[in-house]
Structures are given as C-alpha cells and as structure tokens.
C-alpha cells in the first residue's frame, strides 16, 4: 500500500481548509480506509475539531527540524481508522529553521515517506499563508485541494495557489496535481460572487469537484463538540455533501497516485 497524500491549500483564512480536511479524512476513514490527518497549522484547528487538545512540547514542529520520526507523533482519534498528527504553537517558530535547512522545502516529504506504507490516505491541513510549511506540504503531496467559498478574496487567492505550485514544479521540487477546487455555497445572495465562482468552473472545468458543500449551521456545532460533522451528524446537509465528496475523491484518487 502507498498512501495518497493530499494537501488543503488556500492562503485566505476561513476559506474552509480545516472543515474540508477534517470531514474528508473522517468520511474516508468511516469507509474503512486507514487515514492520517496531519495538522500543519499552529492554530491546531483540525486537532481541536477532532476533540484533541494542544499539547506542550514535544511536537510535530520539533520533529520537522530534529531527527525524530513523525511516526512517534501519531495519535488515534475517537474515529475508527483516523489517526492524527496534531498541530502546535511552535510550528510558527520552526519556520526560520526550516528555511535555513538544506533542502528545507523537502523536509516533510522525507519525513512522511515511512508513513506511506501504513495508510491509504494522508491529508495535510495547511496554514492560511504561503509560508514554508505550506510549501513543504505541497512538495510532499501527490495532490492538493483548494477550498473555494463564495467570497471574493478566497477566489482571487486561487490564481496565487496555482502560480506557486507552478513555480515549485519548475524548480523540480513539487509534482502535486490539482485534485480539485472544492466549492462552498453561501447564502449571501450576492450574484456577482456566484458569477465569479461560475467563471472559475468554466476555467478549471475538470479540476472542479462536482460536489458543492452547502452552508450548514451544524458545522459550528460539530466543531464545538470536537467531532467531525460527517460522522457526528451524518443526516445534516453538509455531512451528506461531504460523503458524496468522499466518493468522488476516492474514485479519482488512482489518477493522482500514478505520479508517485
């Protein structure tokens, strides 16, 4: 077995990276696949959304700049088949050290290699910036997902993501494919935003997931409870959409794995 590694990337905060990462990971684990979610954000929102508390050291950040194995930082979540490597505050501080490391963009890729045999799917929840952690995630990934809420700044960030990935590809350090743009629909009723999203669909066509995640108040409730919506409130509208997204993602995943 070799895991398909997928990052959730959008430099705009609040674009839905964590919500998508947590629910896709939990939804796929619920289908009996072995899944690891790596929380690469110092805010540790994905860890908290799975009911896990932030720890004092030692942490993932330390593992990235020391000789430690990532394996030692894996924790089981309350969801069967879903393991987590938690985020921690010091992920912010570790960035300068990563920059100064020889081949520092490839640190996570090297460290993650041993875990590929243990899991079917590894998901990486990235911070809301194009920092060295996000670049590490992209270099370690086969594929990346760009969550796209019906909101202007996140949409304009999409071209930045694509440009960054292209520049990493030109340097020969990144081979991640755009798995898909994941649309979130809001109820703001601003038609110009809907038009912008429709333009995105026209431009990216096959690289847009068919499934759209609807606005759903249950999502906040599930975050507060520390349980993924997709397994905690499976009848809610967003949970149903996430389950469809899981099926769509699994169906397409052999294509991205070809490039391993």
Ligand X SMILES: Nc1ncnc2c1ncn2[C@@H]1O[C@H](COP(=O)(O)OP(=O)(O)O)[C@@H](O)[C@H]1O
Which parts of this chain interact with ligand X (CB under 6 A)?
A: 10, 13-19, 45, 128, 184, 213, 215-216, 219-220, 223, 238
CB closer to Mg ion, 120 vs 219: 219
**CA 164 distance to own-chain centroid:** 17
Q: CB of residue 48 vs ligand X: minimum separation in angstroms? A: 10
**CA 195 distance to own-chain centroid:** 26
Q: CB of residue 17 vs Mg ion: minimum separation in angstroms? A: 5
CB closer to ligand X, 92 vs 97: 92
Asked whether the beta carbons of 223 and 16 are under 8 A apart, the reply is: no
Which residue number places its CB atom closest to Mg ion? 18
CA 147, CA 85: separation in Å to the nearest integer?
A: 21
- Residue 38's DSSP bridge partners are 85, 124
CB closer to ligand X, 14 vs 51: 14
Q: CB of residue 172 vs ligand X: minimum separation in angstroms? A: 29
**DSSP-derived secondary structure letter, 187:** S
CB closer to ligand X, 21 vs 36: 21
Q: CB of residue 41 vs ligand X: minimum separation in angstroms? A: 7
253: CB partners within 8 A, 6+ apart = 4, 121, 143
């Amino acid at each position: 077995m070799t895991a398909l590694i997928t990052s959730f990337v959008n430099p705009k905060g609040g674009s839905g990276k964590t919500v998508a990462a947590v629910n896709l990971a939990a939804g796929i684990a619920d289908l009996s696949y072995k899944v690891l979610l790596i929380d690469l954000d110092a805010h540790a929102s994905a860890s908290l959304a799975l009911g896990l508390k932030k720890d004092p050291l030692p942490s993932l950040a330390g593992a990235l700049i020391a000789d430690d194995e990532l394996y030692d930082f894996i924790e089981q979540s309350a969801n069967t088949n879903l393991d987590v490597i938690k985020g921690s505050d010091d992920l912010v501080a570790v960035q300068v050290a990563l920059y100064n490391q020889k081949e520092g963009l490839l640190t996570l890729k090297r460290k993650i290699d041993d875990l590929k045999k243990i899991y079917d799917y590894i998901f990486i929840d990235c911070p809301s910036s194009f920092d060295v952690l996000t670049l590490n995630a992209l270099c370690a990934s086969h594929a990346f997902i760009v969550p796209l809420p019906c909101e202007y700044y996140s949409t304009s960030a999409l071209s930045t993501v694509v440009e960054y990935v292209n520049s990493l590809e030109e340097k020969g350090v990144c081979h991640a494919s755009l798995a898909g743009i994941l649309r979130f629909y809001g109820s703001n009723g601003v038609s110009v935003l809907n038009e912008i999203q429709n333009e995105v669909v026209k431009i990216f066509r096959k690289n847009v997931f068919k499934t759209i995640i609807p606005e759903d108040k249950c999502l906040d409730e599930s975050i507060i409870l520390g349980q993924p919506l997709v397994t905690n409130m499976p009848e809610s509208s967003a949970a149903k959409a996430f389950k469809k997204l899981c099926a769509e993602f699994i169906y397409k995943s052999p294509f991205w794995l070809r490039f391993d």
